[in-house]
Structures are given as structure tokens and as C-alpha cells.
Amino acid sequence: MIEIIPAIDLIDGRCVRLTQGDYAIKKVYEQEPLDMAKMYADCGVRRLHVVDLDGAKAKEPCNLRVLERLATHTSLDIEWGGGIKSEDALRMAIDAGADRVICGSVAVDNRELFASWLQQFGSGRVILGADVRDGKVATHGWLKESQIGVEELVEDFLSSGLTQLICTDISKDGMLMGPNFDLYVALQQRFPAVDVTLSGGISSFADVERADELGIRAAIIGKAIYEGRITLKDLERWLQNV
């Protein structure tokens, strides 16, 4: 059964959601990150997806105090991304409580370094984050375009032991119009040894059910929860059957 991973995006320590990765189009929510995390845990959620949007722009983690609070006050498996450009940054995130660390830009800009992290820290801890716009991977908080496709990027790291991929379709992110299911089905079929996580576009629980039917292994849900399209009761009912 598909794993549901709620998302918390952070700017200045607060929960926000962007639309199509545009920092100029953001909505700030009143919920505190720790309060949100505790509500998810109470529903039976096991893993939490947290993105340090300040860190993505600054090229180094900026919200580690929030990470420390989440790790200290919940038992959630926390995957953390944003600003992981150096081994020091990777270690800082782990030391602050991240169970898994998402690396995106560095995997494009310095492939040898990312491959070494997979081997040194293990594929269970290091996740490849590939954010896709018009078929190409975008980096640096979605502000820069590369010329590499997600399939090519994954291929590059299979020999280094890659087992986890989070792929975000930027065109769908924050739009509440449904995911690009074809993208994720194709990726999972091409790379069966890699756990592919859908990110971007989940608009209702029908999308979750459809992803499950298609054999997608995990899905990140953000704005649909904040906007009430998917309720905590929905999550709880689903997770009770897992």
C-alpha cells in the first residue's frame, strides 16, 4: 500500500506553500510546524517531509532549530531537504535529527560528491531529490534550470546504490489539479529497485487512491491538507488500514 508522507515547507520557521516553486507566490499558514507534526503523528503518519526553503536559496540549512524541535518532540521519521550542498551541511541535518536527507542541486552540480555520500552514509539515509520542469531537472530552490532529465540523473547513481527518489513535477506543485501519474509510473517501471515518491499535484484522496492503484509506492501531500481538501480524518482512516 502507498505510503502517505505529509509535507511541511519552511520559510522563517513558519509553514508555507509555494505555487509552482515561485517564492513570490507563497501562502503562510498559521499552524506551527511542531503542532502540525504532532497532529500527523496522532493520525498514524510515520514519515514527515520537511523542506527548508530558506536553505534552498541560501545554499545552506537555515531552519535547523525547527528540525531539532520536530525530532525531539515526535517519533516521526523525518526526511529533510533544502541547502544540502556540502558534507558539513549533510552532517548538520543528521545531527539536528534528520533520519533521511534529500539532496537535489548537488546531485546535478557535483555528481561525484553525491555518489560518495550514497556510499558513505548509505542509500537508506540519502535521498535523490529531482524537481522537474518541462522534462528537465531544476535546481537551487527551483530557480535554475539544468539540461539533464530525471531518468539520466537516476541512471548515474544506480551503481552507487541509489534506492530512494523524490521527484517533484513543478508544473503541478501547489496547483491542486492532480499529479502527472504517467511520469511516476514510468519512473517506477524503469527503476524497480528504486522507491519513487510522487510529489506535486495531489488534490484529493481520490488522487491518493489512484496512485495506490497504479503501484506508486509513496506520495507527498502538502497543500491539499492545508487547504482542507484532505482532512486529518481522511489520513487516519487510510492509515488504519495500512
In the predicted structure, residue 133 carries a pLDDT above the cut 80 = yes
CA 60, CA 237: separation in Å to the nearest integer?
38
pLDDT value at position 176? 75
As assigned by CATH, the class of the 3-240 domain is alpha beta
- What backbone phi and psi angles, to 5 degrees, belong to 93? -65, -45
Q: What's the CA gap between 29 and 132, in Å, rounded?
A: 26
Which listed residue (9, 169, 173, 195) is catalytic? 9
For 56-104, write each residue's pLDDT tens digit. Answer: 888 899 999 999 999 999 999 999 999 999 999 999 999 999 999 999 9
Catalytic residue status for 169: no
Of the listed 22, 42, 95, 131, which one is catalytic? 131
pLDDT tens digits, 11-43? 999 998 777 667 777 788 878 999 999 999 999
Distance CA 173, CA 26 (A): 12
The whole-number pLDDT of residue 100 equals: 98
Pairing of the two strands 218-221 and 14-19:
unpaired
Q: Quick one: pLDDT at residue 224?
A: 92
Tens-digit pLDDT profile for residues 170-218: 887 666 789 999 999 999 999 999 999 999 999 999 999 999 999 999 9
d(CA 188, CA 73): 34
Q: Give CA–CA dist 96/65, Å, rounded.
A: 8
Rounded Cα gap, residues 24 and 18, in angstroms: 8
Identify the pLDDT of residue 91: 98
Query: Quick count: other Cβ atoms within 10 Å of Cβ 174?
Result: 23
Nearest to 100 by CA among 167, 149, 51, 41: 51
Q: Residue 163: its pLDDT value, please?
A: 98
pLDDT for residue 122: 97
131 is catalytic: yes
The helix or strand, by DSSP H or E, that contains position 147, with its residue range, turns out to be: none
Q: How far apart are CA 37 and CA 234, in angstroms?
A: 16
Residue 172: what pLDDT? 78
Beta bridge partners of 137: 132
